[in-house]
Amino acid sequence: MPDKIIRVPTIQLVNYEKNNKKHPEEQIARVANSIREYGFLVPILIDTETTRVIVAGHARVAAAKRLMLKEVPCISAEHLTTKQIDSYRIIDNRLSDPDMAPYDKNNLRDELHRL
């Protein structure tokens, strides 16, 4: 398990060239708005501190660049094998997919009403 969060300059983060998730401009704008409103709450997962290839967080990095953030919090996945990193890139995108984890519409309605 990673034991520390490191701050990495956004210009040093490398997009994974075969990233399987598309991030349309509308999503990047929404993520940027969230970061602006709440701060940068979820670190970027990178393969190692040295290479800094993004494992998870491509949309957050794009939003951070849009906001001209100089650096972002990151966690290194150095404790994972290359195969684990490659498979995590895929599974991470599926874990939050609405088809896999739908909203509880009653709870969502109640929360939105409360807000």
pLDDT mean across residues, the chain: 92
Distance CA 65, CA 72 (A): 10
Distance CA 91, CA 62 (A): 20
Q: Supply the CATH number for residue 60's domain.
A: 3.90.1530.10
Q: What is the pTM of this model?
A: 0.87
Q: Is the pLDDT of residue 36 over 80?
A: yes
- Please indicate, yes or no, if residue 98 is contained in any of the structural domains: yes
Structural domain boundaries enclosing 85: 6-114
The total number of structural domains that make up the chain: 1
* Average confidence (pLDDT) over 79-90: 93
Instruction: Tell me the CA distances in angstroms from 103 to 94, 98, 108, one per residue in order.
Output: 15, 7, 7
- Please indicate, yes or no, if residue 43 is contained in any of the structural domains: yes
* Average confidence (pLDDT) over 76-96: 89
| Class of residue 57 by CB neighbours under 10 A (exposed 0-12, middle 13-18, buried 19+) | buried
Q: Is the pLDDT of residue 58 over 80?
A: yes
- Please indicate, yes or no, if residue 1 is contained in any of the structural domains: no
